[in-house]
Structure 1
Amino acid sequence: MKNVMLLTLGALALSACTVAVRPGVSVTASSSNLIADLQPDRGEGSTYFVGERVRFRFTTRASGYVTLVSLDPDGYGNVLVRDTYVPAGTTLFPRPSDAFTFDLTPPRGVQRVRAIFTTNRATAQIVFSGRYDQNGWRTYTDTYLQPVGASQRDVAETFFTIR
């Protein structure tokens, strides 16, 4: 098994995780403005070392459902959290009630994390695990959101570096 965001014995191994929107990174735009903030616990663009744990601060203006997906430096995409209910306000992931942690593993480099938020449960059954280029990852996000009305969805992305 690969060391990429791997759920094993209660710990989710996150390989190279950089989350932030940088030049050349595009995210599906939304005019709904439902997501107020998404960033790793040390702040966007921060540095973590292999073996450390990362948490994500996610803030919304409405209650709804969030899916967090990561894109590792080597192009592998993984689901961190799928279709999980969150109240309006700030939620830290993993939550204290979650039976997993986000432990960082190689590959080293910039890790991107994308939050896909909908006010109603998403109906698309999309698999986010696999290897993607920028266009493929964007296509999967768009396909996941397609059945949801534009005013009921939002996407945000962040990044950090794994050393």
Structure 2
Amino acid sequence: MRFLGLLFGLLLLVGCAPQVGIGEKERQAWGLQPIIGEFAPDRGEGGKYRLGDRVFLSFTLSQPGYVTLVTMDVDGTTVVLERNVQLPAGRHTFPLATDRNAQGQAAYLVVPPLGPSRFRLLYTNVPVANRELFRGRLSNEAFNQHTQAYLSAAEVRDVAETWMEAVR
């Protein structure tokens, strides 16, 4: 009986984790190429962060291009954190070391709501001008539709996704 309770609890936790990653079906339909690698927050995928903590996201690019970083909170609120940042091939971390504010190094701070937040990194070989995408609250389906519309402007494109969790 105790084992069944533990198993149920584990299954419940797994069910609460965000569905991240782009499936093979989407990769083919969206015409993605393997350009982005090793995309994760500094505490690893699914890492826990307290409100006010800083989050850094690292990734690699196999070729130069433009990247856009979008986050989606558990309530569906979507925000573009970086747009059309031109980067060379290699290892990178957002925010970039060159991103400064009055306090010094820029950082992404964890804010409410509590729970999982998804981060989607979009790669294109050309800058994308559509600023109307990724605004407001989106369903998973709408998030994917916005991603597809964004990528359609480029011949060479890729997407990577990761997540972290805001806790008390």
* Superposed displacement of residue 55, structure 1: 0.3
- Quick check: 1:105 aligned with 2:111? yes
Report which of the two has the higher share of helix: 2
* Superposed displacement of residue 87, structure 1: 1.0
- Partner of residue 156 from structure 1, selected from 160, 164, 167: 160
Q: Per the alignment, do residues 24 and 56 of structure 1 end up closer, same or farther by CA in structure 2, a change over 3 Å counting?
A: closer
8 Å contact from structure 1 (residues 37, 57) kept in 2: yes
Equivalent residues, number: 140
8 Å contact from structure 1 (residues 66, 83) kept in 2: yes
* Amino acid in structure 2 at the alignment position of 1:74: D
Structure 1 counterpart of 2:91? 90
Structure 2 counterpart of 1:7? none
8 Å contact from structure 2 (residues 36, 61) kept in 1: yes
Structure 2 residue ranges without an equivalent (≥5): 1-16, 101-105
8 Å contact from structure 2 (residues 67, 121) kept in 1: yes
* Amino acid in structure 2 at the alignment position of 1:109: G
- Quick check: 1:142 aligned with 2:148? yes
Greater Rg over alpha carbons, structure: 2
* Amino acid in structure 2 at the alignment position of 1:144: Y
Q: CA RMSD in A?
A: 1.6
Task: Render the CA deviation track for 1:109-141: whole Å, top value 9, x for unaligned.
Answer: 000000000122224343312100100111101
Task: Between the two structures, name the one with larger relative contact order (CA 8 Å, sep ≥ 6).
Answer: 1
Structure 2 counterpart of 1:80? 81
8 Å contact from structure 1 (residues 126, 144) kept in 2: no
Equivalents in 2 of 1:51, 1:109: separation in Å?
Answer: 14
8 Å contact from structure 2 (residues 49, 164) kept in 1: yes
* Amino acid in structure 1 at the alignment position of 2:49: Y
- Quick check: 1:120 aligned with 2:120? no
Structure 1 counterpart of 2:40? 39
Q: Secondary structure at the match of 1:141?
A: helix
8 Å contact from structure 2 (residues 32, 159) kept in 1: no
- Using structure 2 for the length normalisation, give the TM-score: 0.78
Equivalents in 1 of 2:33, 2:142: separation in Å?
Answer: 24
* Amino acid in structure 2 at the alignment position of 1:110: P
8 Å contact from structure 2 (residues 20, 161) kept in 1: no
% same residue: 36
Of 91-100 and 128-137, deviating more is: 91-100
Q: Secondary structure at the match of 2:55?
A: coil
Equivalents in 1 of 2:161, 2:66: separation in Å?
Answer: 16
8 Å contact from structure 2 (residues 118, 163) kept in 1: yes
Q: What does residue range 62-77 of structure 1 map to in structure 2 within 5 Å?
A: 62-77=63-78
